[in-house]
Amino acid sequence: MDRLLKLLRDNARNRVADIPKAQVEASGETTLYLYDVIVSDDYWGGISAEKFVKELNALDVPTIHLRINSPGGEVFAARAIEAAIRNHPARIVAHVDGYAASAASFVAVACDEVEIAPGGFFMIHKAWTFTAGNADDLLHTAEMLEKLDASLVDTYAKKSGCTPEDIAGWMKAETWFSARESVERGFADRVAEAGQQYDAAALLLSDSIAMAKDLLQEVTDAELQDVLSQAEKAWKAADKLSTEATTYALLQENLKMLSDEIKRVLKELDPDSIGMVKADGRKVPVYNLQGRLLKHVDLQAEDAFHELPDGIYIVGNKKMHIKQK
């Protein structure tokens, strides 16, 4: 048994030693790695809050890149890391390279920016634990878990702009979000590399489809209906495509072509004359990320967005994060 314990201890130490240490680059930026389970005590392995926070606070640089590939771990250890990230003066950018699951997910959203790899995932769920004792002990543990869940709902809602009810439902179902879903739900700000180009093209097509559907409610046009049908098929197919860079490049080109075609038809139909945009040119459409038209707003009005809950919207042809004061 002593030999087994020694082997486990040595293996744990070797795993910790294999994780690259932060090194300041010539640009003045540095990179930290969260590539393991988050723990309060790293005797048996994992990344402890104590060591991570000490390493983070020792960095005096303008930008820190935090690379994440973690299944999560202990809630309070992760909360300590989260607090250190929020309090650090540097701009901290999270890069979800593989997955940010459970406790690692709220470490990620504590950063100033969150970028996720095309094949990356976020996972959120309700807090859980092992316990033992009498009925009073078990009830106390359940009460504690409910408090933890409520605090996590608040954290996710503030970052994403989603409603607490939606967040709580996703946590209860233990929900996994793909890279694009993470951006759409507001957990991540962008998809990395080739995914960035795809995301922008897909967003552009989504906006064009919504505009076309809105227009078709008022006029009948066979050409517009045909191109809209093609665009919707491409939009549905996009969810099934792989995340290879070559696929993204082809998809981006196709989505942009369809978007341009829709806008060409819209321009020929002169949407200004049928109420899509007011003659003064200041009214623009506002859509949600699912392409549903919500309203038209005057951008010069102070209360243009006062009826909208916090969240991400498409205003005209731009993506905006609206947050009420």
The pLDDT tens digits for 116-137 are: 988 899 999 999 888 889 999 8
pLDDT at site 212: 56
pLDDT at site 55: 93
Mean pLDDT of 11-16: 50
pLDDT exceeds cutoff 60 at 163: yes
Angle formed at CA 151 by CA 306 and CA 137, multiple of 5 degrees: 150
pLDDT exceeds cutoff 60 at 96: yes
Instruction: Give the pLDDT band of residue 270 (cuts 50, 70, 90).
Output: very low
pLDDT exceeds cutoff 70 at 216: no
pLDDT at site 254: 59
> Taking the model in full, what pTM does it have?
0.56
Which segment of 32-36, 206-210, 241-245, 284-288 scores lowest on mean pLDDT? 241-245
Q: Are 90 and 59 in contact (CB under 8 A)?
A: yes
Instruction: Give the pLDDT band of residue 17 (cuts 50, 70, 90).
Output: very low
pLDDT at site 63: 92
Instruction: Give the pLDDT band of residue 193 (cuts 50, 70, 90).
Output: low
**Tokens 């369809």 -> residue:** 258
Q: pLDDT above 70 covers what percent of the chain? A: 58
User: Any residues with CB less than 8 A from the CB of 57 and at least 6 apart, and which?
Assistant: 84, 88
* Highest-scoring range by mean pLDDT, 26-35, 150-159, 303-312: 150-159
pLDDT at site 194: 52
Which segment of 123-127, 147-151, 252-256 scores lowest on mean pLDDT? 252-256
Mean pLDDT of 225-233: 65
Cβ-in-10-Å burial (0-12, 13-18, 19+) of 14 comes to exposed
Task: Quote the longest CA-to-CA distance of the chain.
Answer: 84
Q: pLDDT above 90 covers what percent of the chain? A: 38
The amino acid at residue 102 is: S
151 to 49, 123, 146, 183, 325: CA distances (angstroms): 19, 16, 9, 22, 21
Cβ-in-10-Å burial (0-12, 13-18, 19+) of 70 comes to buried
**Tokens 């919504």 -> residue:** 210
